[in-house]
Structure 1
Amino acid sequence: MYLRSTPRRNKDGTVVRYLQLAHNVWDPAAKRSKVQVIYNFGREDASNRDALQRLVASVTRFLDPDAALSATVDGLVFVESRPLGGTWVLDGLWQQLEIGKAMKRLLKKRRLDASAERVLFALVANRALAPSSKLAAARWVNDDVAIDGLPATSDDACYRAMDWLIEISATLEEEVFHQVANLLNLEVDLLFFDTTSTYFETEDADEAIARDEQGRPVPENEASDEHQVRGFRSFGKSKDHRDDLPQVVIGMAVTRTGIPVRVWSWPGCTSDSALIRQVKDDMRDWTLSRIVWVADRGFASERNRHHLRTGDHHYIIGEKLRSGSAEATEALARQGRYQDVRDNLRVKEVRIREDERFVICFNPDAADRDAKTRDRLVAHLTELIDNTDKLAPTKRAELRGVISTKPGLNRYLRVTPGGLLRIDAAKIKAEENLDGKYLLRTSDPKMTTEDIALGYKQLLEVERGWRDMKQVIDLRPVFHRKEERIRAHVLLCWLALLLARIAETQTGQTWPTLRHELDRIKLGTFTGPAGTFQQRTEITKPQRDLLHALKLDPPPRIYQLAPASR
């Protein structure tokens, strides 16, 4: 049974075609087959074609899906389906920031395969969509996802691309910063800086070698006493609470909207105190106009503050209330009324020095939490030291040693001259005066106290960045051993977080939510006698809205056509 189009000539000489449903029957007398018309659909026009489509749909619904597909297109076989939406969006943002364009330009000066830019994009997309090792990333590209311009890759290509990324990192980072600055109209703005650490599942630190102030290796013939001798993976104060394992220190500069504009890597034993000076120097020639640096209390040294003020830049830095410094003590002693600002925050400014402004911030909700936390700690400490007067001095000393390892409890412990353990009532009274408060200092003479307080509060964006870097982008575990590969891994994670943050900023949704919705845009592959073609699934309204917010076109419906070889 088949459809045929039969021409007929009208009286005026025009030819009209008619659609007929027919089949061949054997004529024993003539000993040949003849066409027998089963149904005549009439003249071949649009309405009759619609009727045919309804007929085909009605017939194929009685067939199995495979049989229906084969019936509609002879010999067509469904091969596979891969997620397309996530990589399509990331690639679109990659092109908007001209990262691919910059990489291709830098690629011309190096003897590398032309696909190196695509491989690096695939590694970045892997961190954002399905974080895995470089070995698993190659399998992900080959078997599990659709990436425009990269049908397949290899482990060696991934490692070569990472090595190339380190070579071009300085130029690439600057160009990406300017693209982000233009995208966000970053002229006079806040830049937040903070550090974290990531550890390695190995007991051995790297061999110590001479390094410059930026922590990069120095050739042996250029090493001098001015250079520090450190291993890259080395023991230090771990922010992951794993002091038993070697680590590296990572720094990140973030805009007020949470966009990470640059990342740094240092040996694991590097302290925070001097890092922000290097960060300021590295970005001296990058900034488009005046920048206000925002950092926490670990960077509050006088030398750091002086360095940050150069070049018409300013700072907002947290001050340790419990440091016992003369400035903190004097600021807290000043009388004055608090001014209510938004987000349940009260502020008051106190003048102590001519060249700096101090702002005391008070959050009533935080004060309640601090009081409850202290009450719980004091109750626990009271239980621990109850009836210890009857213990032998050596036993009390042992308990005193245990408590000293717990800063929260040790803060409220007092030891009498006779070695007895007591609750420090004076310390509790002093702590009550600090509940819900934090102290800021700034060199900016023009910012309002509200902007200073809320600007520092946005430092939480960096903490959110680190949390997402470690959980969503999956900074850990790091599978690499060589220093340059570790640095490249951090750069890949930064680029992935950058693209994810821009997507979040433009859509108002979290990256995990976006990733889930975009991965529902699939690319199906079909093959048949005529060749192979790929077709995406239909775009839903939520998906279309996301693409519109990101200013991206949807993927083409027919993605690829490959005729069969003859």
Structure 2
Amino acid sequence: MFLREVKRQNRNGTRVSYLQLVHNDWDPAARAARTKILYSFGRTDQVDTAAIERLIVSLSRLLDPAAALKATAGSDLSLLGSRPLGGTDVLDGLWRRLGIDTVLNRLLAKRRGSAPFERVLFGLVANRALAPSSKLAAADWISNDVHIDGLPETSDDVCYRAMDWLHDVREHLEREVFAQVANLLNLEVDLLFFDTTSTYFELEDPDTPVDRDEHGQVVAGRDGKDGQDGQDGTDDEQSAAGFRTYGKSKDSRDDLPQIVIGMAVTREGIPVRVWCWPGNTADSKLIRQVRDDMRDWTLSKIVWVADRGFSSQANRRYLRRGEHTYIIGEKLRSDSPEIKTALSRQGRYTTIGENMRVKEVKVSDSERFVICHNPEAAERDAHIRDQLVAQLDELIAGSDKLPTMKRGELRGKISTKPGLNRYLRLTPGGLLRIDKAKIKTEANLDGKYLLRCSDPHLSATDIALGYKQLLEVERGWRDMKQILDLRPVYHRLEERIRAHVMLCWLALLLIRIAETTTGQTWHHIRRDLDRLHAVTFTGPTGTFRQRTDPTKPQTDLYARLDLSLPKKIIEITPAGR
């Protein structure tokens, strides 16, 4: 059975052809094959191609997929390869919807002789979100392992030049990207959460100190001086420090040079902006720079939400400038008269959730304190304290009979364990005892944390719930380090390190929008999208690339994100090009 084309010439000289489905039958009498017409499709130029496609699909169901592909593709068509398409296509759709491509291309238009850095930067951002790697490996990933629209290939040199340009335009980019995101997503930027983290580098020696201004930026041609953050809130205008240098590590790696990274996040979990400082920069002064940088972003009234590391008097005074207010965590174990007064005030708690009670205390006209109590956390604190006291009691049992020197050695051993040393008391005679007064004091703090707020209009419930959302920043740090692989950083130049952090911020922005829109984690989104591929075939007439048929989870993801699926035929390249 085969398809036959019959041609003939009309009386007027025109030539026409007809398509017929025919089959050869053997005629035993004539001892020859006779052609039998099974079906006539009519004139070739008038054939219903849609009907033929339906017939082919129907017949293909009788074959296994490999045989069907061989039968329909023909022996001259070869499969060149298959690359993941869904992840990069969705990220590119969000990238364009937020107008990031427009912003970058507009900034590029002001620079002569620029390469297509917008596509390269998107490729690097997609690499952070889908397969984090070094820039050399990212260039290979873009060129050989994934399909990115408008970027068939790139090189590590182009990636580095694109990062250098990104560092030059970072301030303009951050401002315009935030404006686009705020308008499209209708963000409520009344609460702005800020926190810092650090990331270390596997170096033998820190960077050479250079002169820096109060914002940690390099200042050329001036002599540096060792400035420290004073208790009165005044900073030296200039100091000398290397970018990758030793400081208090939040990764418990004080033995390695590091940098400090800050991030501001909205209540929806959308990262607004990131900052980088030398590794020895103290948290206490960072928020003041952040507040100044955000001042010119034409935002409405902002309530800054920050952790206990930013609760100095100078920081609080700085955040109250203008119409801005703050919610800041306070240390319960403090010598501050205000905090002692707030904790000693009597009053009833109001239940605002399953595991949350709040009590407001007003100490002054300008500031309010809110005591938050978690009953489950209180039980956990009490259980841990009972274990510590039991362990301490076992250690000091019989110590009265020890010689004075041996008792001193035991006292020194316990002093190295803060959890135990907290409940140890030394009598005037040098004997070791359990400090029952300290146990009672600590019991009064079980499951509690203290908040300070300068906004007179926020309720105690809003203050407590607003501070609880600070977890969004910590979640952002966790995703940056575990999903986007912020570390290790394969760069030594300060500008490249800052650009690397910018790429991680843009990747976090895209995946957080995808998560908030779909209600799924990026891990599940990426898993489903990676299964949508672009398959490349080649034949005598050229090469073409088409996508695989989407599954229902993939179709649902595109629908929730309000994005169109990629075209069935993505690209066609005729032979000879």
Displacement of 1:177 after TM fit?
1.4
Match of 1:284 among 292, 295, 303: 295
1:2 aligns to what?
2
1:57 aligns with 2:60: yes
For the residue of structure 2 that corresponds to 1:283, the secondary structure is: helix
* One-letter amino acid of the structure 2 residue matched with residue 100 of structure 1: D
For the residue of structure 2 that corresponds to 1:248, the secondary structure is: strand
User: Residues 222 and 91 from structure 1, CA distance in 2 versus in 1: closer, same or farther, beyond 3 angstroms?
Assistant: farther
- More displaced stretch, 453-462 vs 219-228: 219-228
- More displaced stretch, 400-409 vs 305-314: 400-409
2:438 aligns to what?
427
User: Residues 337 and 533 from structure 1, CA distance in 2 versus in 1: closer, same or farther, beyond 3 angstroms?
Assistant: same
For the residue of structure 2 that corresponds to 1:321, the secondary structure is: coil
1:302 aligns to what?
313
Q: For residues 166 and 223 of structure 1, what CA distance do their matches in structure 2 show?
A: 24
2:552 aligns to what?
541
Q: Is the 8 A contact 2:188 2:266 kept in 1?
A: no
1:166 aligns to what?
167
Q: Which runs of 5+ in 1 are unaligned?
A: none
Displacement of 1:474 after TM fit?
0.9
- More displaced stretch, 51-60 vs 546-555: 51-60
1:196 aligns to what?
197
1:208 aligns with 2:209: yes
- More displaced stretch, 269-278 vs 391-400: 391-400
Match of 1:359 among 370, 395, 407: 370
Q: For residues 558 and 72 of structure 2, what CA distance do their matches in structure 1 show?
A: 35
Q: Encode CA deviations 1:398-419: one digit per residue, 9 max, x unaligned.
A: 4444443433233222233444
For the residue of structure 1 that corresponds to 2:169, the secondary structure is: helix
Q: Is the 8 A contact 1:187 1:289 kept in 2?
A: no
2:128 aligns to what?
127
Q: For residues 53 and 160 of structure 2, what CA distance do their matches in structure 1 show?
A: 55
Q: Is the 8 A contact 2:214 2:237 kept in 1?
A: no
Displacement of 1:387 after TM fit?
3.8
Q: For residues 219 and 511 of structure 1, what CA distance do their matches in structure 2 show?
A: 43
- More displaced stretch, 502-511 vs 381-390: 381-390
TM score, norm. by length of structure 1: 0.91
Displacement of 1:483 after TM fit?
1.0
- More displaced stretch, 311-320 vs 387-396: 387-396
For the residue of structure 1 that corresponds to 2:295, the secondary structure is: coil
Q: For residues 290 and 415 of structure 2, what CA distance do their matches in structure 1 show?
A: 36
Q: For residues 37 and 396 of structure 2, what CA distance do their matches in structure 1 show?
A: 99
- More displaced stretch, 40-49 vs 174-183: 40-49
User: Residues 187 and 488 from structure 1, CA distance in 2 versus in 1: closer, same or farther, beyond 3 angstroms?
Assistant: same
1:103 aligns with 2:104: yes
Q: For residues 78 and 472 of structure 1, what CA distance do their matches in structure 2 show?
A: 33
2:13 aligns to what?
none
Q: For residues 298 and 413 of structure 2, what CA distance do their matches in structure 1 show?
A: 50
Q: Is the 8 A contact 1:347 1:450 kept in 2?
A: yes
* One-letter amino acid of the structure 2 residue matched with residue 179 of structure 1: Q
Listed as ranges, the matches of 1:53-452 within 5 Å are 53=56, 56-57=59-60, 60-61=63-64, 65=66, 68-69=69-70, 72-186=73-187, 189-221=190-222, 226-452=237-463
User: Residues 384 and 91 from structure 1, CA distance in 2 versus in 1: closer, same or farther, beyond 3 angstroms?
Assistant: farther
* One-letter amino acid of the structure 2 residue matched with residue 49 of structure 1: I
C-alpha root-mean-square deviation of aligned residues, in Å? 2.7
Q: Is the 8 A contact 1:7 1:18 kept in 2?
A: no
Q: For residues 410 and 563 of structure 1, what CA distance do their matches in structure 2 show?
A: 79
- More displaced stretch, 219-228 vs 238-247: 219-228
User: Residues 54 and 451 from structure 1, CA distance in 2 versus in 1: closer, same or farther, beyond 3 angstroms?
Assistant: closer
User: Residues 435 and 112 from structure 1, CA distance in 2 versus in 1: closer, same or farther, beyond 3 angstroms?
Assistant: farther
Displacement of 1:447 after TM fit?
1.1
1:508 aligns to what?
519
* One-letter amino acid of the structure 2 residue matched with residue 232 of structure 1: F
Listed as ranges, the matches of 1:516-527 within 5 Å are 516-527=527-538
Match of 1:37 among 9, 16, 35: 35
For the residue of structure 1 that corresponds to 2:347, the secondary structure is: coil
Q: For residues 238 and 409 of structure 1, what CA distance do their matches in structure 2 show?
A: 25
Q: What is the aligned residue count?
A: 553
Q: For residues 51 and 174 of structure 1, what CA distance do their matches in structure 2 show?
A: 53
Displacement of 1:52 after TM fit?
4.5
* One-letter amino acid of the structure 1 residue matched with residue 318 of structure 2: H
Q: Encode CA deviations 1:503-527: one digit per residue, 9 max, x unaligned.
A: 1011111111111111111111111
For the residue of structure 1 that corresponds to 2:176, the secondary structure is: helix
Q: Is the 8 A contact 1:8 1:16 kept in 2?
A: yes
* One-letter amino acid of the structure 1 residue matched with residue 115 of structure 2: A
Displacement of 1:37 after TM fit?
2.3
Q: Is the 8 A contact 1:190 1:255 kept in 2?
A: yes
Q: For residues 19 and 88 of structure 2, what CA distance do their matches in structure 1 show?
A: 47
* One-letter amino acid of the structure 1 residue matched with residue 434 of structure 2: I
Q: Is the 8 A contact 2:94 2:510 kept in 1?
A: yes
Displacement of 1:41 after TM fit?
2.1
User: Residues 68 and 298 from structure 1, CA distance in 2 versus in 1: closer, same or farther, beyond 3 angstroms?
Assistant: closer
TM score, norm. by length of structure 2: 0.90
Q: Encode CA deviations 1:154-192: one digit per residue, 9 max, x unaligned.
A: 010111111111000011011111122223323551000
Q: For residues 249 and 326 of structure 1, what CA distance do their matches in structure 2 show?
A: 32
Q: For residues 475 and 166 of structure 2, what CA distance do their matches in structure 1 show?
A: 26
Displacement of 1:67 after TM fit?
8.4
Q: Is the 8 A contact 1:127 1:493 kept in 2?
A: yes
Q: Is the 8 A contact 1:84 1:519 kept in 2?
A: yes
Match of 1:498 among 509, 533, 537: 509
Q: Is the 8 A contact 1:41 1:48 kept in 2?
A: no
Displacement of 1:358 after TM fit?
1.1
